[in-house]
Amino acid sequence: MKPFNAKHTWIIVIALGLVFGCARVLLASAAEQPDVIYFDGKIVTLDAAESTASAVAVKDGKFLKVGSSDEIKQLAGPSTQLVDLGGKTVVPGLIDAHCHPMEAMMMKETWVDCRFPETSSVKEALEHIAAWAKKTPKGEWIFAACVSASENKFAEKRLPNKAELDIAAPDNPMMLANGTHMGIANSAALERLGIKKGVEKLPHGGSVILDKDGEPTGVLTDAQADVPTTPTVVELEQYYSKDIQEFWNQHGFTSVLAITPAAALPVLQKIAGAKIKPTIRYTTSIWTSANGKDMPEDLGSFRMPETADPAWYRFGGIKVWVDGENDCRTGYMYAPYVGHFDTDPPGGKGTLVTPQADADRFADIANKSGVISMMHCSGDAATDIGLNAYEKEMQSPAPETINRIEHFGMFQLTDKQLQQAKELKKKNFYISVQPTWLLDLVKADYENMGPERTRTGFKFRSMIDAGLEPAAGTDVTGIYLDNVNPFLAIYGSVTRDSDDGLFMPEEAISVPEALKMWTIWAAKSMGESDTKGSIEPGKYADMVVLSDDIFTMPKEHLKDVKVVKTIVGGDAVYEAKQTGTTGKK
């Protein structure tokens, strides 16, 4: 045997080095191999360059790389799943920046359906309620859902009254909701709520409409925190762990800003703490009462448990209502509504729910706690309250947190308010809008406010030109269930079609702008644009595969677009049973 010399030693060292080096390369390569690659698509990224790609690689629930199919497929390893998109158009996961998912499931599953147009009259609504009452145990609450502005839509041009509800449900306390800002209660419900002669205000912000003798007419406004509608714990667990995500996923949504009653929050916190992975990303905005007077200074109890994964569960903000809503004539305005309904609040200018001082306090609580402040403002007078509260807050040394007005300019918007909003936008101010309402409420707006004021609403072109980057929300509460379809909203925003025909076509926006309202601008309004809203490396791998190319198809067919597949964290969480296109290119 030959002696072992230094030369042999170096040869062995070099050989071992090459072996271990190759092993490290192989291990590193395996670690970087994508979990899944989606290829052969038209992927509209909405990144800063507004680039288009044909493939993406996903690793650990996030986008690893975006590029051409040939380039991305080269990253595949033995365990990488390859998914052919078949040339379909793909956009970032859609974000519902303003919705009420718990209420939507509750109304969808447990309320009497009196929604227009299927229910076209007061007579039909009363028949539905009477049939429901026959199968309901005596003394149990009954709730009925009507779309907002039903007083404009029903054949009788009014709502059911207290006496009629007494006949339809004689043995049950019952409330008929005209949207979510007005309800008609029967006598048993008024008694159950302790509403007697002369009572005009309820403890948590609701108002009572009285007749000339001071007796309650049955009409309640903004009483959502004063009427016991919260579902059972078992129902809430079903909603938050299954029903909500399935309902939103099928329409392309991968994230929601879920406006959540404080009473229901513990159930969602329990689910989040148990590390139950959903198929939609929850960001919550908590409300305690309509006027927010009981909003605590310390918001610690609203935060998610430490064991919750912030990629899926996040406490984001708090919500308050400054007024009602113009579609039921309770939005707070400077000038009276046109005409008169028996359900109108005194003075005919709507309802002020949260005065300026209380709005100022609310904004201060949110900003000191570092969470989003969300103020519901419908009428022009209410919008001024919200804008002024934020202007005052932004002059203080409070943290630079997001301040939002919900439903900004949907019904009314003055040039002064647009300019004030433009200035506030420099200081982290955002707006939430609901484009689908173009298809539901323009006709009622004309009847309730007249043409001059109506034509100040829905000015999306003006908002975008002012740099406001409006975030779109469905505002689904269970009233207009079809409004969960974002392609109806995109259709309305682009075509300016409405329930009263073509409405202010000069305010039309482009398809890319309409899409941004549901993606990157929505993410910005939630303080989450670093993780979602566009298809870029490092962001959550959330995407939607569409039936048609929304960027090239005739705009009149946008309302027919369907979701083929919804992808959250790289996983397909919804796939349509039939994946054919609408046939309209």
Question: 309-318 pLDDT, tens per residue?
Answer: 999 999 999 9
Q: Under a CB-based contact definition with an 8 Å cutoff, are residues 68 and 53 in contact?
A: yes
Residue 405 has pLDDT above 90, yes or no: yes
pLDDT band at 584 (very low <50, low <70, confident <90, very high): very low
Residue 553 has pLDDT above 60, yes or no: yes
> 374 vs 257, 471, 523, CA distance in Å?
11, 13, 15
Mean pLDDT of 115-126: 96
Rg of the chain, C-alpha, whole Å? 27
Residue range 354-387, pLDDT digits in tens: 999 999 999 999 999 999 999 999 999 999 999 9
Residue 163 has pLDDT above 70, yes or no: yes
The residue ranges of every structural domain in the chain are 102-221
Residue range 513-522, pLDDT digits in tens: 999 999 999 9
Q: Under a CB-based contact definition with an 8 Å cutoff, are residues 330 and 322 in contact?
A: no
Q: Structurally, what CATH architecture does the domain formed by 102-221 represent?
A: Roll (3.10)
Q: Under a CB-based contact definition with an 8 Å cutoff, are residues 315 and 370 in contact?
A: no
Residue with tokens 């043995």: 171
Dihedral over Cα of 80, 44, 316, 396: its sign: positive
Locate 23 and state its tokens.
């092993």
Q: Under a CB-based contact definition with an 8 Å cutoff, are residues 535 and 53 in contact?
A: yes
**How far apart are alpha carbons 424 and 417 in whole angstroms?**
10
Q: Under a CB-based contact definition with an 8 Å cutoff, are residues 580 and 547 in contact?
A: yes
Q: How far apart are the first and last CA of the chain?
A: 80
Residue range 280-301, pLDDT digits in tens: 999 999 999 999 999 999 999 9
The gap from C-alpha 449 to its chain's centroid, in whole angstroms, comes to: 26
Residue range 469-507, pLDDT digits in tens: 999 999 999 888 899 999 999 999 999 999 999 999 999
**How far apart are alpha carbons 19 and 29 in whole angstroms?**
15
Pairing of strands 142-146, 42-44: unpaired
Pairing of strands 55-59, 36-39: antiparallel
Residue 27 has pLDDT above 90, yes or no: no
Q: Under a CB-based contact definition with an 8 Å cutoff, are residues 186 and 162 in contact?
A: yes
Question: Quick one: which of 129, 132, 140, 216 has its CA closest to 172?
Answer: 140
pTM of the model: 0.92
Strand order in the sheet with 89-92: 52-53, 42-44, 89-92, 543-546, 563-568, 571-575
- Mean per-residue pLDDT over the chain, rounded: 93
3-state secondary structure of 319: strand
Residue range 223-251, pLDDT digits in tens: 988 888 879 999 999 999 999 999 999 99
Q: What is the percentage of the chain residues whose pLDDT exceeds 90?
A: 87
